[in-house]
Each structure stands twice: as structure tokens, then as C-alpha cells.
Structure 1
Amino acid sequence: MNREEKKLETKNRILDAAMRLFAEQGFEATTVAQITEAAGVAKGTFFNYFKTKEDVRGKLDKIVAMDEIVNLKDKPGPYAPRFIALIKKFGDSMAGNQSMLLLSIQGMLANNQNIEESKEGFCYIVDCLVPIFEKGQQTGEFTTTIPAETMAHIALKIFLGVMINWAMGLSKDDFGDQLLLSYQVFFEGVMKK
């Protein structure tokens, strides 16, 4: 196992341990010490990968949301209501984590390496969304006048814009409510008339 594979394996052990502990005893009751013990790593190792316990939860939320988006393409339509429900659920899960989300945005843009990693993640999201829009076009749910890839890119841009807007406190609405409204408007524009 090379160095990068070992780092990824360690990070995944921390995430797996945290997910188990959060499910068993709740987020608030779980400590970093418990996570590191369950993962079999030193406390310092935890902080090489994550700034805080909240950072771990944010990463887990993203993983779960991505898994659900990836699986969405394997389900029958209609896709718009499922996508909206999924994105609302994700936004609601971030309630009370405005500062954590702002730190996450700052981290994404902190240096060239982080920017490149973020771009890779965003490209992966678009790649997962394109088949959903294509299937929606094939079933007549979405317009065919806009390419599926364009819809996927716009959907990502909406998410990023709402995320920045909410993290900066530019709206009093909850993150989930802002996402809900934004995607309702988006889908109104791409639905087949």
C-alpha cells in the first residue's frame, strides 16, 4: 500500500468510526477521543484529516447525499420531486452549521491543491447528475432543448450559489428552504411544457 492509499484508508477508518458512533449514541454525545479510539488512530492523526467533529459530520453528510444522488439515476422518474426532496433533506441537515459551511468554503478555496480537489468533486457531481437529466429527458419529464450536461452544470451552480449565500448570512431563510425554493424555480424552467 503506497502512502496515498494509506492516508485514504486512515481517513475512511475515521469516517466509518464516526458514522457508527453518531448512529449509536448521537452526534452531541460522541467525542473526538471516542472516534479516534474506535478508528484505532491517535488524536493527532484525527486532526491531520479533520479540524473538528463537525467537519467529520459535514463530510459524512456529503457522502450520504452523493450516494443518494448516484442511486437516483437507478430509480424510475419523476426525478424532479425526488431531487428536490433529497436536496432539501441535505440542506436541513446543515441547520445550525453556518460557520462550519463557511469554513468548508474557505477550505475549498484556500490553495491550489484544495481548489483542484474541489473541482474534481464538482466534476464527479456533474457526472452523476447528467444521467438523471438524460433519463428525465427520455421519459418526457425534462425539456430536450437544453442539453442534460448543461442542466447538470446549472444545478451544481445553483447549489454552490445558495451555499455561499446562506453561509455568508445573506438570507434569513434556512439552508434547506433556500435550496428548496431555488430548485423549484430551476425545475420549473427545465420541465417539459
Structure 2
Amino acid sequence: MTREEKKQQRHDAIVTHGLNLIRQHGFDEVSIKQITEAAGLAKGTFFNYFASKGDLIAFWYDSIVEQAINLSINEIHPTLSEHILNVSLYCLNAARSEPQLWDAKRKLVASNTALQEAECRMDRELKAFIANTLEQTATEVNSQQLAELLVCILTGTVQECATYAQHHDVEATIRDRVKNLLRLAGA
């Protein structure tokens, strides 16, 4: 096994065991020592890959958009709005399907630079995906500006529903708002 393969193996072990422990016990209940012990590594090894447990959550969060876009490439979508909604709702549902990780992300985002950067990357990737999707349609609307509005709607709606504990209708609200904006834009 090469040096790079060993590094990747250690990284993957930290991610796998760390996220599993957080899922089982909650973010605050899991220590870095527990993560590295479960991964069969020395405690200091964790810091070769992540600055904190929050950075581990950022790594998880970062992977969601990439997975959504990669899955979307091979799917056939009946309409532009369904294509955009499928990717957007995949991101939302992937995050919500991991309540311990999602809660940790929400609590830490204000104070963790890696999570803030992950959110910015997620927004940029979604904007680029949406703009690219819009450019493939015959519309006179500026695709970059419309993509920015759509990402604002998505992130704002998720934040609104999380803040006011309206989890039951977030998907319906997102669907309505995205479809309305696309209709108004003539896309």
C-alpha cells in the first residue's frame, strides 16, 4: 500500500467512525479520542486531517451537493423546475436524514469556519448547477441572477422552517416558491 493510500485509509476511517459515533451518541457526547480509538489511530492523527469535530461535520455537509449533482446528471427530468427541485430537495433530505449531524451543523455554523466555508461552497455549487441548467433553456433571464435568487429561496426557506420548527411542510414550501419564481421568470 502506498503512502497516499494509507493517508486516504486513515482519513476514511476517521470520517466513517467519527460520523457513526456522532450519529449514535450526538455531537457533544463524542470526543476526538473516542473517534480515533474507534478508527484504531492515535489521537493526534485526527488533527492531520481535521482541525476539529466541526470540520468533520463540514466534510459531511460538503459531500451532499456533490452527490446530488452527480446523481442528477444521469436522471431524466420532465421539466426544468423538476430538475432543479430534485437536486435541491436531495440536498435538503440528505441533510435532514442525519438529524444528529444536521443539528450539529446548525449549532456550529456561526462559530466554525470550515462549516461556513462548506455552506459557501454548497451555495456556489448549487448556483453553478442551476445557472448551467437554466442556460440550456430558451429564456431571456440572466441565468446567474436567477440562480442566485433560487439559492436564496432554498437556503432561506430551509432556515425559516428550521427557525420556526416547520419541518413538516418545508418540501412543499420549496416546491411552491421555486416553481413560482421560475414561472415569473418565464423559465
Q: Deviations over 1:59-89 (max 9, x none)?
A: 4244134311243144322314523541441
Structure 2 partner of 1:182: 174
In the alignment, the residues of structure 2 paired with residue 163 and residue 85 of structure 1 have an alpha-carbon distance, to the nearest angstrom, of 10
Query: Is 2:28 the partner of 1:36?
Result: no
Structure 1 partner of 2:130: 129
Structure 2 partner of 1:150: 145
Structure 2 partner of 1:75: 75
Give the aligned length: 168
Q: What is the correspondence of 1:83-122 to structure 2 with a 5 Å cutoff? A: 83=87, 85-90=89-94, 92-93=96-97, 95=99, 97-98=102-103, 100-108=105-113, 119-122=120-123
Identical positions, percent: 17
Answer with 81-90 or 181-190: which moved more. Answer: 81-90
Judge conservation of contact 1:80–1:187 (CA < 8 Å) in 2.
Answer: no
TM-score under structure 2 length normalisation: 0.61
Q: Deviations over 1:95-152 (max 9, x none)?
A: 46446413214324xxxx98667545532332233223334x26xxxxx132332232
CA RMSD of aligned residues (A): 4.1
Give the direction of change, closer, same or farther, for the CA distance of 1:43–1:184 in structure 2 (3 Å limit).
farther
Per the alignment, in what secondary structure is the counterpart of residue 108 of structure 2? helix
In the alignment, the residues of structure 2 paired with residue 99 and residue 125 of structure 1 have an alpha-carbon distance, to the nearest angstrom, of 22
Higher helix share: 2
Structure 2 partner of 1:51: 53
In the alignment, the residues of structure 1 paired with residue 11 and residue 123 of structure 2 have an alpha-carbon distance, to the nearest angstrom, of 20
Give the direction of change, closer, same or farther, for the CA distance of 1:128–1:51 in structure 2 (3 Å limit).
same
Give the direction of change, closer, same or farther, for the CA distance of 1:85–1:12 in structure 2 (3 Å limit).
same
Unpaired segments ≥5 residues, structure 2: none
CA drift at 1:181: 0.7
Per the alignment, in what secondary structure is the counterpart of residue 77 of structure 1? coil
In the alignment, the residues of structure 2 paired with residue 95 and residue 39 of structure 1 have an alpha-carbon distance, to the nearest angstrom, of 23
Judge conservation of contact 1:14–1:36 (CA < 8 Å) in 2.
Answer: yes
